Amino acid sequence: MSLQKIKEIEDEMARTQKNKATNAHLGMLKAKIARLKRELLEPAGKGGGGGGDGFDVNKVGDARIGFVGFPSVGKSTLLTKLTGTFSETASYEFTTLTCVPGIVRYRGARLQMLDLPGIIEGAKDGKGRGRQVISTARTCNLILIVLDCLKPLTHKRLIERELEGFGIRLNKKPPNITFKKKDKGGISFTSTVKNPQLDLDAIKAVCAEYRVFNADVFMTEDYDVDDLVDVIEGNRSYVPAIYVVNKIDQITLEELEVMDRLPHYCPVCAYLDWNMEGLIEMVWDYLAMVRVYTKPKGKLPDFNDPVVMHRERCTVEDFCNKLHKALIKQFKYALVWGSSAKHRPQRVGKDHVLQDEDIVQIIKKI
Ligand SMILES: Nc1nc2c(ncn2[C@@H]2O[C@H](COP(=O)(O)OP(=O)(O)OP(=O)(O)O)[C@@H](O)[C@H]2O)c(=O)[nH]1
Ligand SMILES: [K+]
Ligand SMILES: [Mg+2]
């Protein structure tokens, strides 16, 4: 049984001291665990995909935000306050049994928020509706991990583990590791970093677990075995997350100040509407969205209806594709007003990168 095997390997890893000499062995164990977990999560007969099906709720709006947390931390109270969509709340656990979507309109963008059932430890392995919840979380552009400030801080780590075990990586960039399989020549490793954590032996051990014996591995930043395993496994979701610490009406000001300083934290009291505005601003920030206004020829732009894109994918071409699939074929050039433009307007090609609140007029070929 995979679960037992995973447990055995985890125990072995806990017993093994971490140092240069054991690096390769630990790498091999980590790769083994990753493979076993993937097999465990893959639905029988289906290839990859993260495993399990989410709730049947359509993706609408410009971004999707999911609420994940233990039961009764206040997820439904939060959804009701933020979106105005009623989601049942009660003092008993597992009040919410399905996914309840709501919409917030903020700065011209439509944000879909998903209230989800509470999860418990072991959720990703099929406990409760956990897998459905975590599968849905994978489809989100941002995850709000809702915590109850009266509960132990270890809860944060438990939730993170459930999400990580399902291939979700929180507040992390995809590792910039080039991993190229080849036909012969063995494993080669090039790093521009001094004294990297990874060494050739560790990389060979990991690769052997995947039956890869010839490959070039290249990196310009320092990464560890977990990052390498993530790259070889592929199929990871890199999602930003905010830790929403709820029920702060129940703690002292001193306790609150400590929490306020932690990275990615947002203290709130959903019940009394405290810091809802602060939370939504942080949500906006973490979504990293860019609003671009369309300017029809000879008319003023419509400032109420921006085209909303992600900061990493916001070229003029991305903008065209958002407007109409066939538009890019007719594209001649664009006129841009706003902070990305050097002149007013600047004439640009399709690769020009737009910035928040730019105004764009597309000039088509005739
Ligand atoms: N003191 C206090 N209580 C709160 C706050 N927010 C929610 N609650 C209470 O906490 C309890 C649980 O709230 P819910 O919104 O149902 O929690 P949930 O996370 O959706 O719970 P499940 O759906 O069961 O997982 C309810 O009794 C709420 O009234 C808060 O900010 N402060
Ligand atoms: K509840
Ligand atoms: Mg609920």
Domain positions in the chain:
2-41+175-233, 63-172+237-287, 289-364
The mean pLDDT value for 44-55 works out to: 54
**Mutational test site, ligand 1, from 95, 127, 146, max ligand atoms within 8 Å of CB:** 95
pLDDT at residue 266 tops 80: yes
Both structure tokens of 96: 């919410």
**End-to-end alpha carbon distance in the chain:** 65
Ligand of minimum distance to the alpha carbon of 275: 1
d(CA 213, CA 188): 10
> What pLDDT shows up at residue 103?
98
Is the pLDDT score of 78 beyond 60? yes
What is 45-57 written as a DSSP string? TS--TTSS-----
Provide the pLDDT confidence category of residue 43 given band limits of 50, 70 and 90: low
Show the 3-state SS of 236-287.
Answer: CEEECEEEEEECHHHCCHHHHHHHHCCCCEEECECCCCECHHHHHHHHHHHH
| Region of 45 on the Ramachandran plot (φ > 0 left; ψ -120 to 50 alpha; else beta) | left
C-beta of 74 in contact with ligand 1 (< 6 A):
yes
As a whole-number percent, the residues of the chain with pLDDT over 70 amount to 96
Q: What is the pLDDT of residue 129?
A: 83
The minimum-distance atom of ligand 1 relative to the CA of 77 is 15
> Is pLDDT at 148 greater than 90 in this prediction?
yes
Domain 289-364: CATH superfamily is Beta-grasp domain (3.10.20.30)
Task: Quote the pTM value.
Answer: 0.89
Cα of 84 from ligand 2 centre, angstroms = 18
Task: For ligand 1, pick from 67, 89, 116, 155 the residue to mutate: most ligand atoms within 8 Å of CB.
Answer: 89
* The CATH number of the domain covering residues in 63-172+237-287: 3.40.50.300
Cβ atoms within 10 Å of 142's Cβ, excluding its own: 21
Interstrand relation of 168-170 and 142-148 (parallel, antiparallel or unpaired): unpaired
- Pick the residue whose CA is nearest to atom 14 on ligand 1: 74
Q: Identify residue 7 by its one-letter amino acid code.
A: K
List, for residues 83-95, the tens digit of each pLDDT value.
Answer: 999 999 999 999 9
Ligand 1 proximity of 88 Cβ (cutoff 6 Å): no
pLDDT (tens digit per residue) in 171-180: 999 999 999 9
10 lines ligand 1 (CB under 6 A): no
Distance 279 CA to ligand 3 centre (A): 19
Ligand 1 contact via 274 beta carbon (within 6 Å): no
**Ligand 1 site, residue 94, Cβ cutoff 6 A:** yes
Residue nearest to atom 21 of ligand 1 (CA): 72
The verdict on the CB of residue 271 being under 6 Å from ligand 1 is yes
pLDDT-based confidence at residue 51 (cuts at 50, 70, 90): very low
How remote is the CA of residue 270 from the centroid of ligand 1, in Å?
Answer: 8
Q: Which residue has the tokens 């993706």?
A: 59
pLDDT, residue 41, reads 67
pLDDT for residue 42: 64
Q: How far is the CA of 68 from the centre of ligand 1 (A)?
A: 13
Cα(226) to ligand 1 centroid in Å equals 36
